[in-house]
Chains A and B, each alone.
Chain A
Amino acid sequence: MDFDLTEDQREIKNVARELLSARSPLAKVREAAEAAEYDDALWREIVQLGWPGIAVAEQHGGQGLGAVELAVLLEELGYACAATPFLSTAVAAAVIQAGGTDEQRRRWLPGLIAGETRAGVGSPDLVVDGAGADVVVLLDDDGARLVSAPESEPLVAIDPTRRFATVRGEGEALGADAADRVRTAVAAEVVGVCQRALEMTLDYVKERKQFGVAVGSFQAVSHRCAQMLLHTESTRSAAYYAAWAADAEPARLGEAAALAAAAGATGAREVPASAIQAHGGIGFTWEADVHWLYKRGEVDRALLGGAKRHHAALARAAAQRLAVPAS
């Protein structure tokens, strides 16, 4: 039993944190969001570093690593709230690698890794990075489909750090666990969103003084922060469990992804919402940066399909396990 990142994975995390804090501070995120554009310079650098192909086999030009390494990068891009199409590009590449046909791999992977092929991911009415996408991983109740040359209609959603579209198209079936892999990846991004919202809040409540003391010394505030940590760490436990299962024990991925999605859907909403509350009036202004995280969190929650459907799936899975005596 070793539920921790390896040294190599930790190194990937540190490198990503360092690069993103230098290249994509919140001022840059704001600039891109207000211009309604991606941060193209950052995206080029990310492509040069090979991040979109982190979970793609070397024979297809990727780095040959797995879902845990992808989760590490997604966590850091969520932490930065970076304005790039990384989520959909890397996730499309990862699910095509894991469950696509050879033909799909040859057709899509090189372009995705090179940043030349644009991907989107989401449900028909809300596809992240969907505007102008060449290929879309479309989620619905039956799983995930790969739609090429999709019929898409741009959509302005509440999260201005990304571009959206509604997408229609039949598409081709992807591997049976593609939807689970997508949700695992989104939950990993949520971990970073929560972590950032928590840290920004801690910085603020240590500084902000009322009644002559830092507001973080009031239990009404500090206990809220403790609750934010609980949601953040719960999401982290479930997201990394699912990422590990995707690589090492695919038989456990179905339930693990439902755990990650349910925990992530809750964390994605509760933690950034608490961040706004703990910032007080300033937290409700456009000028403070916490709203980027709340907006991304709400969209990620929608991508995960909310919490309730996963709760129901988990209850069914638990009941089924009880009906079949454990060996």
Chain B
Amino acid sequence: MDLTFNEPELAFREELRAWLADHEPGREPDAEDANYEWRVDFQRSLARDGWAAVHWPPEYGGRGATLTQSAIFFEELGRAGAPLPANVLGLLLAGPTIMSWGTPEQKERYLTPILSAEEIWCQGFSEPDAGSDLASLKTRAVKDGDDWVVTGQKVWTSAAQYAKWCMLVARTDPEAPKHKGLTYFLMDMEQEAVTVRPLRQITGESEFNELFIDGARIPSENVLGGEGNGWKVALTTLMNERAGLAFFLQVRLRQLLDRLIAEAAQRDLLDDPVIADRLGELHLKSEILRLTAYRGLTAIEKYGQPGPEGSLTKWMWSETNQQLTQFAADLLGPSALTAGGRWSYELLRARGNSIEGGTTEVLKNIVAERVLGLPKAR
């Protein structure tokens, strides 16, 4: 047991901190498109110095970073006030999935432009009637000569308005059992048959989109992992989803909590036992989240799979972030409810935390069934 970083990990962190100090990201722009451009610029600058995908193997332009180094990378981004790279879905999801399942030609074609943010990726998994029950998705792909023709609708698609490519899961065999008839495609977004419509969230902004696909054509060479194998390939994508992000989100939570504690101190509220109790409890939860995430990393590094703690961190994070932002509203009063303010934004945005990337209810089912071995839920 050693909860300190070893020499290579410290060296990695020092090098990254020095780089971040020389490449300050600047203030985050409010307007959505400007914000996106800011994130593209930041990724290009990361890519120029080989920092865009530290967890990718060197042969694909990464640094072959260990999981711990990758965690350090996201922690340091968060600490420096840097954004997630614009192509985060390409870097974290599409890239690793293509490395696992792609042909040599596919790896050659797609990986480099992901790194440089030349080609942005989005993820076409969820549908209006297939959210938590993803395998019931209905988007159809039908063979037509050398092409597949796709019709259907996707939802919650982040970055679709900027994306060149979409990781698309569609049903290619309606006769097969629901997990078996799926195929994973790399779909070109730049075609008439694909329409992107922004979804306005409760915050007023549009991080997500709806995707209407009406006869889009995908050449057969853009199938990833083989026809009918889409569920397995999609699982690779889903398994990659949270690993690095968890550390970024954990640091952001920490920063938000520190900000609240500082505001409470400024107003001389820390001597109030009720307030101290709540803030201390949030501090506890934030630290437990960090410690538990590191236990999960160790388990994967040593045994190749997460232990029982691995399924808990997303749930812990969303619950804590929601409690934190609601307590901020209680503590700071009307000033935290002013439209356009930081706290009012965080209060609203946090409502999505327990839904996005797996609802808490589904996470609890997964814990119950896969970790605790309980019978399938009713």
Contact = CB atoms under 8 A, between A and B. Distances in A.
A3 B377 CA distance: 32
A263 B372 contact: no
A223 B368 contact: yes
A314 interface: yes
Contact of A219 (B265, B288, B363, B364): B364
A227 B315 CA distance: 10
B297 interface: yes
B371 A229 contact: yes
Interface stretch (A99-107, A125-133, A143-151, A209-217): A209-217
Contact of B373 (A2, A3, A202, A237): A202
A193 interface: no
Interface string A192-229: 00000010001001100000011011110011011101
A3 B298 contact: yes
A319 B267 CA distance: 12
B34 interface: no
Contact of B281 (A217, A222, A230, A311): A311
A63 interface: no
Interface string B296-308: 0111001000001
Interface stretch (A14-22, A180-188, A240-248): A240-248
Contacts of B284: 238, 259, 262-263, 310-311, 314
B9 A1 contact: yes
Nearest to B310: A233
5 contacts: A4-B298, A245-B3, A313-B280, A315-B280, A318-B257
Contacts of B24: none
A236 B296 CA distance: 13
A312 interface: yes
A216 B374 contact: yes
Contact of B377 (A6, A217, A248, A263): A217
Contact of A259 (B287, B309, B368): B287
Interface in B269-319: 270, 273, 275-281, 283-284, 287-288, 291-292, 294-295, 297-299, 302, 308-309, 312, 315-316
Interface string B341-367: 000000000000000000001011101
A28 interface: no
Interface in A237-286: 237-238, 240-241, 244-245, 248-249, 259, 262-263
A4 B280 CA distance: 26
Interface string A123-161: 000000000000000000000000000000000000000
Nearest to A317: B283
B55 to A, nearest CB: 15
Contact of B292 (A213, A234, A308, A310): A234
B2 interface: yes
B48 interface: no
Given A213-B375, A225-B374, A241 B3 contact: yes
A237 B291 contact: yes
A226 B367 contact: yes
B68 interface: yes
B295 A315 contact: no
Contacts of A236: 309
B261 A315 contact: yes
Contact of A225 (B9, B283, B372): B372
**How would you classify the secondary structure of chain A's contact residues: helix, strand, loop or mixed?**
helix
A229 B372 contact: yes
A223 B364 contact: yes
A249 to B, nearest CB: 8
B273 A312 contact: yes
Contacts of A27: none
Interface residues of A, number: 53
Contacts of B378: 213, 217-219
A3 B291 contact: yes
Nearest to B254: A318
Contact of A230 (B265, B283, B299, B312): B312
Interface centre among A205, A216, A263 (most CB of B within 10 A): A216
Contacts of B369: 222
Given A241-B291, A311-B281, A319-B261, 9 more contacts: A2-B3, A3-B297, A4-B298, A4-B302, A6-B1, A223-B368, A233-B292, A311-B279, A315-B270
Contact of B295 (A3, A68, A213, A217): A3
A241 B291 CA distance: 8
Nearest to B277: A311
Contacts of B309: 233, 236-237
Contacts of A198: 372
B262 interface: yes
B2 A226 contact: no
A314 B257 CA distance: 13
A296 B265 CA distance: 38
A44 interface: no
Contacts of A307: 281
Interface string B1-42: 111111001000000000000000000000000000000000
B280 A311 contact: yes
B258 interface: yes
A5 interface: yes
Contact of B375 (A217, A241, A313): A217
A222 B280 contact: no
A243 to B, nearest CB: 8
Interface in A38-89: 68
Nearest to A68: B1
Contact of A234 (B288, B298, B364, B371): B288
B109 interface: no
A324 interface: no
Given A1-B297, A222-B372, A262-B281, A237 B292 contact: yes
A229 B367 contact: yes
Contacts of B9: 1
A245 B273 CA distance: 28
Interface centre among A229, A240, A318, A323 (most CB of B within 10 A): A318
A313 B284 CA distance: 11
Contacts of A262: 280-281, 284
B121 to A, nearest CB: 30
A312 B316 CA distance: 21
